[in-house]
């Protein structure tokens, strides 16, 4: 496996530290005019999401972590694993466990495409697209005429996610949701 | 970086004007004091032996010569001029250090280096203060002994601490296996960088002086307070290291020994050994006048003038845009 020396460190680099895959967030080069150089590095452990701060002597190196992001279509779940398939036509499938799916769970819709981060070939995490379109399966009855101002109510979506929506939304409508904030964006015109 | 922004300078127009003004100030300062401006090669036959400095090799093919080094400092060439009887001299030059890039580093930077014949380190510190305080309008610096700085901010006496205690003191930053081959000076550099330096020069500028003899580089060494210290000084302002000066070593035998010791360190740390600059050593044998010299980072001086946090703010084109 390739390794990176301190002078190749940059944010975004994926490396192995204490056996865990990490992503470099910040890298500060520290060196007295005469004397030993160091790199002060902030990394996020991709297994635990914890942020670590470490110091390296100039010239030390870290092994590259075999971490890649792949576009995959969500297929189904058997309750234990969530199955994703590469969109490159290879039909290759990957089972992601609950820890990898984590917060993406409430945005998972069959046949939608997600970013699956693979570590040594196994799903490490699943990231939904910034926006998803989901159908309302339950909410209080819509209030006619109230289209513009004020007031929200909870609505349950087909994935089980509950989001606050305007009062005029009715069951069966498809909504556009921002997965980063979990907020309602707009109605999707049904064709 | 978006393509449409890649051609633009990273420094503001105002910073570029201040840079020009700073250069004019420096030249005026030395003209007034009768110090001669000189220019020496950026492309030299020899590189530096210092284990902590990595030169950048140049592919040159001229006559029978095929290799050269971009200079990490104009020191050896300037000392040859001193030996030739030039008297006090200064130079604004571009210097090159491989692998150095960060908020305070660019692999190519502007260095102001000057030598004063007949000055000792104390006299030169006065002149550094005149220049820096004259330009920045700051208070004159305090002088703190290296030993006192380490005691105050790192809780160790750098001359008395055992290797074991020193390594223990570094453990907040490095794992024991990283410390194993760092060596005593490497440990002290770590403490200097992470525990001491961030505290230096906030109320007013501060000179650190009285470095351990092992960190003398090209400074002369003398005994004081029961241990050998180097006549070397550094100036810190707002936690930023600005310059490094010596009461210069003039003994050619001692100089050769230090070069050879450097190469030994290089061998041990797996770095290529460097050929000794025989022209420089010959100049020392001819006789370097008693003098002190100092190298000051002009980009950093401008950072201080403008309150810049990143060297990119004062460089027209930092390395990524060069």
Task: For residue range A4-37, list pLDDT tens digits in order.
Answer: 999 999 999 999 999 999 999 999 999 987 899 9
| pLDDT on residue B270 | 87
Task: Verify whether the Cβ–Cβ distance A55 to B192 is below 8 Å.
Answer: no
Task: Verify whether the Cβ–Cβ distance A38 to B185 is below 8 Å.
Answer: no
Q: Of A7, A29, A57, which is closest to B182 when you measure between CB atoms?
A: A57
d(CA B158, CA B221): 16
| pLDDT on residue B4 | 61
Question: Rounded mean pLDDT of A92-100?
Answer: 95
Nearby residues of A155 by Cβ (< 8 Å), 6 or more positions away: A136, A138, A139, A162, A163, A164, A165, A169, A175
Q: What is the pLDDT of residues B43-68, one digit of tens each?
A: 999 999 999 999 999 999 888 878 89
Tell which wins on pLDDT, B269 or A51: A51
Question: Rounded mean pLDDT of B198-206?
Answer: 96
Contact B169, B105 (CB under 8 A): no
The answer, for B99 touching chain A at a CB cutoff of 8 Å, is yes
Question: Rounded mean pLDDT of B261-267?
Answer: 94
d(CA A7, CA B101): 8
Question: Rounded mean pLDDT of B201-218?
Answer: 94
Instruction: Report chain B residues whose CB lies below 8 A from the CB of A31.
Output: 52, 100, 102, 105, 193
The answer, for A144 touching chain B at a CB cutoff of 8 Å, is no
pLDDT-derived band at A142, boundaries 50, 70, 90: low
pLDDT-derived band at A94, boundaries 50, 70, 90: very high
The answer, for A30 touching chain B at a CB cutoff of 8 Å, is yes
Task: Verify whether the Cβ–Cβ distance A31 to B103 is below 8 Å.
Answer: no
- Alpha-carbon distance A61 to nearest alpha carbon in chain B (angstroms): 11
Task: Indicate whether B226 pLDDT > 90.
Answer: no
Task: Verify whether the Cβ–Cβ distance A57 to B178 is below 8 Å.
Answer: yes
Task: Verify whether the Cβ–Cβ distance B102 to A30 is below 8 Å.
Answer: yes
| pLDDT on residue B90 | 98
Contact A114, A127 (CB under 8 A): yes
Task: Indicate whether A190 pLDDT > 80.
Answer: no
Q: What percent of chain B has pLDDT over 90?
A: 91
- Mutation to test the B interface, candidates A9, A24, A27, A35, most B Cβ within 10 Å: A35
Task: Indicate whether A191 pLDDT > 60.
Answer: no
d(CA B5, CA B241): 31
How far CA B81 is from CA of A160, B115, B248, B258, in Å, comes to 80, 10, 14, 21
Residue in chain A lying closest to B187 (CA): A36
Nearby residues of B302 by Cβ (< 8 Å), 6 or more positions away: B15, B18, B19, B22, B308, B314
Strands A162-166 vs A152-157: parallel, antiparallel or unpaired: antiparallel
Task: Indicate whether B2 pLDDT > 90.
Answer: no
Instruction: Report chain B residues whose CB lies below 8 A from the CB of A30.
Output: 102, 193-194
Give the global pTM: 0.85
The answer, for A8 touching chain B at a CB cutoff of 8 Å, is no
The answer, for A28 touching chain B at a CB cutoff of 8 Å, is yes
Instruction: Report chain B residues whose CB lies below 8 A from the CB of A59.
Output: 269
Question: Rounded mean pLDDT of A54-79?
Answer: 95
Mean pLDDT of chain B: 95
Question: φ, ψ for residue B186 (rounded to 5)?
Answer: -60, -40
Question: Rounded mean pLDDT of B70-77?
Answer: 97
| pLDDT on residue A125 | 93
Tell which wins on pLDDT, A141 or B250: B250
Q: Of B102, B241, B269, which is closest to A33 when you measure between CB atoms?
A: B241
Residue in chain B lying closest to A61 (CA): B178
Residue in chain B lying closest to A5 (CA): B99
Interface of A with B in 92-131 (CB under 8 A): none
Task: Verify whether the Cβ–Cβ distance A55 to B190 is below 8 Å.
Answer: yes
Crossing angle of helices B278-287 and B252-268, in 10° steps, is 150
Interface of B with A in 20-79 (CB under 8 A): 50, 52
Instruction: Report chain A residues whose CB lies below 8 A from the CB of B300.
Output: none
pLDDT-derived band at A151, boundaries 50, 70, 90: confident
- Alpha-carbon distance A124 to nearest alpha carbon in chain B (angstroms): 28
Contact B91, B74 (CB under 8 A): yes
Interface of A with B in 35-74 (CB under 8 A): 35-38, 40, 55-60
Task: Indicate whether B210 pLDDT > 90.
Answer: yes
Task: Verify whether the Cβ–Cβ distance A34 to B50 is below 8 Å.
Answer: yes
Instruction: Report chain B residues whose CB lies below 8 A from the CB of A29.
Output: 100-105
Task: Verify whether the Cβ–Cβ distance A7 to B182 is below 8 Å.
Answer: no
| pLDDT on residue B295 | 98
Instruction: Report chain B residues whose CB lies below 8 A from the CB of A32.
Output: 189, 192-193, 197, 234, 241
Residue in chain B lying closest to A56 (CA): B174
Residue in chain A lying closest to B235 (CA): A33
Task: Indicate whether A143 pLDDT > 80.
Answer: no
Question: φ, ψ for residue A182 (rounded to 5)?
Answer: 70, 25
Residue in chain A lying closest to B49 (CA): A34
Task: Indicate whether B240 pLDDT > 70.
Answer: yes
């Amino acid at each position: 496996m390739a390794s990176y020396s301190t002078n190749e460190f940059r944010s975004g680099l994926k490396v192995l530290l204490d056996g865990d895959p990490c992503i470099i967030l910040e890298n500060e080069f520290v060196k007295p005019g005469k004397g030993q150089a160091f790199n002060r590095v902030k990394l996020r452990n991709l297994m635990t999401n914890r942020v670590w701060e470490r110091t390296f002597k100039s010239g030390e190196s870290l092994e590259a972590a075999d971490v890649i992001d792949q576009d995959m279509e969500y297929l189904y779940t058997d309750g234990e694993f969530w199955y994703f398939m590469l969109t490159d036509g290879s039909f290759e499938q990957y089972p992601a466990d609950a820890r990898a799916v984590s917060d993406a769970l409430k945005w998972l819709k069959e046949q939608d495409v997600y970013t699956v981060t693979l570590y040594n070939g196994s799903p490490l995490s699943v990231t939904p697209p910034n926006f998803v379109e989901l159908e309302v399966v339950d909410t209080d009855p819509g209030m006619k005429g109230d289209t513009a101002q004020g007031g929200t109510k909870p609505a349950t979506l087909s994935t089980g996610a509950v989001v606050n929506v305007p009062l005029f939304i009715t069951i069966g409508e498809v909504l556009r949701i921002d997965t980063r904030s979990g907020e309602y964006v707009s109605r999707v015109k049904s064709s | 970086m978006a393509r449409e922004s890649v051609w633009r300078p990273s420094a503001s127009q105002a910073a570029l004007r201040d840079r020009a003004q700073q250069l004019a100030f420096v030249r005026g300062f030395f003209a007034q004091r009768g110090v001669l401006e000189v220019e020496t090669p950026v492309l030299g036959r020899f590189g530096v032996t210092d284990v902590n400095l990595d030169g950048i090799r140049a592919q040159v093919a001229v006559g029978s010569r095929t290799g050269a080094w971009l200079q990490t400092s104009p020191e050896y060439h300037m000392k040859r001029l001193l030996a030739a009887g030039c008297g006090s001299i200064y130079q604004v030059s571009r210097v090159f250090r491989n692998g150095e890039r960060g908020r305070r580093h660019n692999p190519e930077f502007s260095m102001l280096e000057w030598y004063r014949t007949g000055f000792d380190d104390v006299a030169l510190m006065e002149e550094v203060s005149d220049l820096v305080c004259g330009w920045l309008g700051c208070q004159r610096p305090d002088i703190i002994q290296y030993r006192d700085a380490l005691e105050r901010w790192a809780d160790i006496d750098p001359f008395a601490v055992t290797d074991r205690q020193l390594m223990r003191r570094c453990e907040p930053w490095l794992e024991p296996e990283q410390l194993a081959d760092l060596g005593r000076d490497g440990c002290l550099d770590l403490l200097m960088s992470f525990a001491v330096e961030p505290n230096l020069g906030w109320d007013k500028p501060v000179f650190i002086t009285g470095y351990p003899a092992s960190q003398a580089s090209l400074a002369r060494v003398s005994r004081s307070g029961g241990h050998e210290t180097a006549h070397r000084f550094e100036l810190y302002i707002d936690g930023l290291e600005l310059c490094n000066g010596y009461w210069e070593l003039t003994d050619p035998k001692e100089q050769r020994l230090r070069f050879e010791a450097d190469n030994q360190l290089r061998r041990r740390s797996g770095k290529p050994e460097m050929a000794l600059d025989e022209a420089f050593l010959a100049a020392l044998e001819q006789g370097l006048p008693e003098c002190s010299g100092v190298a000051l980072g002009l980009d950093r001086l401008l950072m201080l003038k403008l309150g810049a946090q990143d060297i990119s703010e004062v460089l027209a084109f930092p390395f990524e845009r060069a």
